[in-house]
Amino acid sequence: MSDLRELYQEVILDHNKHPRNFGEIEGADRHADGYNPLCGDRLAVYLNLDGERITDVAFLGSGCAISKASASLMTDAIKGRTVAEARALFGRFHAMITDDADAPPPEGVGKLAVLAGVRDYPTRVKCASLAWHTLRAACDDLHEPVTTE
Amino acid sequence: MALMSSPAEAAAPALDVERIREDFPILKRLVREHRLVYLDSAATTQKPRAVLDALARYYAQGNANIHRGVYVLSEEATAAYDAARVKVQRFLNAAASREIVFTRNTTESINLVAQSFGRRNIGPGDEIVITHMEHHSNIVPWQLLCEQVGARLRVAPIDDSGTLQLDALEGLLGPRTRLVSVVHLSNSLGTINPVEDIVAMARARDIPVLIDGSQAVYHMPVDVQALGCDFYVCTGHKLYGPTGIGVLYGREALLEQMPPYQGGGDMIRSVTFEKTTYADLPHKFEAGTPHISGAVGLGAAVDYIQGIGFDALVPHEADLLEYGTAALAEVKGLRIIGTAARKASILAFVMKGAHPHDVGTIVDTEGVAIRTGHHCTQPVMDRYGVPATARASVAMYNTREEIDALVRALHRVREMFPV
């Protein structure tokens, strides 16, 4: 059970049940759709930008607890940051969830650290990264849905 | 065949499951510090020692390329490969071993029929009838064919229990229908289709029938002559055999008139730059060096299953399905997907408030292996309005205790995702 609590921490279960910034932003400056063909998870990310700064962000979709919590935590983490900062955070986050189990505790990821347990479950990495891939597509203003495959 | 038999009937030829489990070395493995509880046989079955030994013995003692070798090893390998074909022929009760073509898997068997039989016999405006519960491997090859020749795919519906609506299927059979291709046992619902009735309906109209027996062949006896189907396809790795070896049964008259699927060595009689003539059945459809060890392993698997016997295996698995259906019903907020009257092996379900992927990960921490996702049947998921399901599937080596372990693990899921 302790292993499992490492993955499904209370914060994750809470964000799954009560996702933050959940919904659509009407007339958003940017939006992208993401799809994980492995499990059928779909989500959309909406952004409002003031120049390079992300002034508002929201997501909508269905998925497992990991993907939903990750999307919710992501929106909290990037709101008010610049696009470049969000990209850099994705880099650190991705490194964290794909590190081997013995890697030192992640730095500079803030609350996202609760998702570090994902690295022990390789098949779930895509669940945790779907929202971030979709965010990147929104930042790049891509109109084709992104997939994790 | 009523697979949901009463306990009294089920008791008849008892299967010694503990002895069977001894034959499967992997079942002793620990996973995350728990004894492995393998409930994903619908994806692939585990392999008995008889199959592992046959593979090892072939490579250690008998490895050579088949056909045209004039030395002992090649003669032995050829004989072993041919013997495997005869074993499969008897297992499916085909009339002749030349009606058994070795392929890579069920998918390749269906693609072979689509591209060889289909391109020769199906044209613009013609129709192919399938059902809503087909695996993608019995959908996509026909969609490709339809694009190539301008034919149309028609889909017979299923009801909420996952039962095929037979009248609706019959209604789709018309003057343009050139083939009916249906699954025998659904991999995502567990439904056993009334293939005898489907064949009768189609034959009355001179329409050939392909049956996808990928899931069926290891849960029930199959007699292709009694069924009267034109093609029957299955795969070795679900038959307790190796991966990479599949089977296409085709009626000789149809196989004879079909052009080769792939060209190359072994499928020819003679080759010149002006004209090539093709080998006799079944070699016409087996271009290149085949999966010799795979065939040998499959032969050993078929021997193993027949040694156990369906008389013992069918009631054992029916008991597990019945027991599992009742046990899962006790888990709060769990809904079984696929509740047809005639079912085998498959227990697919969704849990309120818990995504199937989370269910799969949590039960895995207890050593319980189940499959989660769309099971290559996205139209079925759409039919039930779910993105995915969790699926437990039983085979001959499973026990009631393993079902209990699954249920205990599902209670863990419920603790973590309360409703």
pLDDT band of B13, cuts 50, 70, 90: low
Give the C-alpha separation, B9 to B67, whole Å: 48
Distance CA B27, CA B25 (A): 5
Instruction: Kindly determine whether residue B387 and residue A40, on different chains, have CB atoms separated by under 8 Å.
Output: yes
Exposed / middle / buried, residue A76 (Cβ in 10 Å: 0-12, 13-18, 19+)? middle
Q: Which of A102-106, B5-9, B159-163 has the highest mean pLDDT?
A: B159-163
What is the distance between the alpha carbons of residues B15 and B301, in angstroms, rounded to a whole number? 18
Chain mean pLDDT for chain A: 90
Q: What is the mean pLDDT of chain B?
A: 95
Kindly report the nearest CA distance between residue A106 and chain B, in angstroms.
23
Which residues in chain B are closer than 8 Å to A11, comparing Cβ atoms? none
pLDDT 10s digits, B250-280: 999 999 999 999 999 989 999 999 999 999 9
- Mean pLDDT over A108-135 rounds to 92
Mean pLDDT over A90-96 rounds to 94
Residues of B in Cβ contact (< 8 Å) with A127 = 357
The whole-angstrom separation of Cα B231 and Cα B133 is 19
CA distances from B145 to B113, B234, B236 (A): 10, 20, 25
Q: pLDDT tens, B308-322? A: 999 999 999 999 999
Question: For domain B52-306, which architecture applies?
Answer: 3-Layer(aba) Sandwich (3.40)
Reference B363, options B299, B396, B400, B406; nearest CA is B406
Question: Does residue B32 contact residue B364 with C-beta atoms inside 8 Å?
Answer: yes
* Spacing of C-alpha A15 from chain mean position: 12
Same fold, B7-47+309-416 and B52-306: no
Instruction: Measure in Å the smallest separation between the Cα of B356 and chain A Cα atoms.
Output: 7
Burial B260-276 (b: 16+ CB within 10 A, else e): bbeeeebbbeeeeeeee
Domain boundaries, chain A: 2-141
Query: Which of A44, A9, A23, A4 has the alpha carbon at shortest distance from A138?
Result: A44
B354 touches chain A (CB under 8 A): yes
User: Is a pLDDT exceeding 90 seen at residue A101?
Assistant: no
Identify the three-state secondary structure at position B276: strand
pLDDT of residue A146: 79
Q: What is the pLDDT of residues B95-136, one digit of tens each?
A: 999 999 999 999 999 999 999 999 999 999 999 999 999 999
B391 CB-contact burial (10 Å; exposed 0-12 / middle 13-18 / buried 19+) = buried
Task: Give the residue on A whose Cα is nearest the Cα of B366.
Answer: A1
Percent of chain B residues topping a pLDDT of 90? 94
Which band of pLDDT confidence, cut at 50, 70 and 90, is reported for residue B1? very low
Strand partners, B177: B127
pLDDT at residue B260, rounded to an integer: 96
- B376 is known as an active-site residue: yes
Quick check: A105 pLDDT over 80? no
Query: Residue B68 pLDDT more than 50?
Result: yes
C-alpha distances out from residue A51 to A84, A139, B218, B417, Å: 12, 12, 62, 41
What is the model's pLDDT at position B287? 96
Contacts of B176 (CB under 8 A, 6+ apart): B125, B126, B127, B152
Record: contact B357-A127, CB cut-off 8 A: yes
pLDDT tens per residue, range B298-353: 999 999 999 999 999 999 999 999 999 999 999 999 999 999 999 999 999 999 99
Please tell me the predicted confidence (pLDDT) of residue B82: 97
B373 lies within 8 A of chain A by CB: yes
Identify the pLDDT of residue A62: 86
Question: Residue B129 is which amino acid?
Answer: V
CA distance A28 to chain B (A): 27
Q: What would the mean pLDDT of B394-411 be, rounded to a whole number?
A: 98
* Residue A147: pLDDT over 80: no
Inter-chain residue contact A7 with B356, CB threshold 8 Å:
no
**pLDDT above 70 as % of chain B:** 97
Q: Is B349 helix (H, G, I), strand (E, B) or coil?
A: strand
- Chain A residues with CB under 8 Å of a chain B CB are 1, 3-4, 7-8, 13, 38-42, 62-66, 121, 123-124, 127
Query: What pLDDT, on the 0 to 100 scale, is given for residue B2?
Result: 45
Radius of gyration for the alpha carbons in chain B, expressed in angstroms and rounded: 22
CB half-sphere exposure, B201, CA atoms < 13 A: 20
Contact A38 B355 (CB under 8 A): no
Q: Are B222 and B88 in contact (CB under 8 A)?
A: no
Q: Does the pLDDT at position A50 exceed 60?
A: yes
Distance, in Å, from the CA atom of B127 to the CA atom of B295, rounded to the nearest integer, reads 34
Q: Where are chain B's structural domains? A: 7-47+309-416, 52-306
The domain over range A2-141 is classified in CATH as 3.30.70.141: no
Burial class (CB in 10 A: 0-12, 13-18, 19+), B370: buried
User: Residue range B166-178: average pLDDT?
Assistant: 98
Please provide residue B55's backbone torsions phi and psi, each rounded to the nearest 5 degrees. -65, -45
CB contact under 8 A, B417 and A65: yes
Q: Which of A18, A64, A120, A129 to mutate to test the interface with B (most CBs of B within 10 A)?
A: A64
B357 touches chain A (CB under 8 A): yes
Q: Which residues of chain A does B417 touch, with a Cβ-Cβ cutoff of 8 Å?
A: 13, 65
Q: Can you tell me the mean pLDDT for A40-47? A: 91
**Residue B358 is nearest to which of A38, A40, A65, comparing CB atoms?**
A65
Structure tokens at A123: 């098949």
Who among B361, B378, B387 is closest to A62 (CB)? B387
Report the gap between the CA of B358 and the closest CA in chain A (Å).
Answer: 6
CB contact set of B31 (below 8 Å; sequence gap of 6+): B364, B367, B369
Q: Are the beta carbons of B369 and B37 closer than 8 angstroms? A: yes
Sign of CA dihedral B326, B328, B331, B337: negative
| Structure confidence at residue A2 (pLDDT) | 55
CB contact under 8 A, B357 and A64: yes
Q: What is the ipTM of this complex?
A: 0.89
Residues of A in contact with B356 (CB under 8 A): 39, 64
Q: Is B6's pLDDT higher than 80? A: no
Taking residue B189's Cβ as centre, other Cβ atoms within 10 Å add up to: 30
**pLDDT attached to residue B204:** 97
User: Dmax over Cα atoms in chain B, in whole Å?
Assistant: 73
Average pLDDT of the residues in B245-254: 98
B390 reaches A (C-beta below 8 A): no
CATH class in words for B7-47+309-416: alpha beta
Q: How confident is the model at residue B10 (pLDDT cuts 50, 70, 90)?
A: very low
**Residue B230's pLDDT is what?**
98
Question: Whole-angstrom Cα distance, residue B410 to residue B334?
Answer: 9
Record: contact B356-A121, CB cut-off 8 A: no
Per-residue pLDDT tens over the stretch B190-231: 999 999 999 999 999 999 999 999 999 999 999 999 999 999
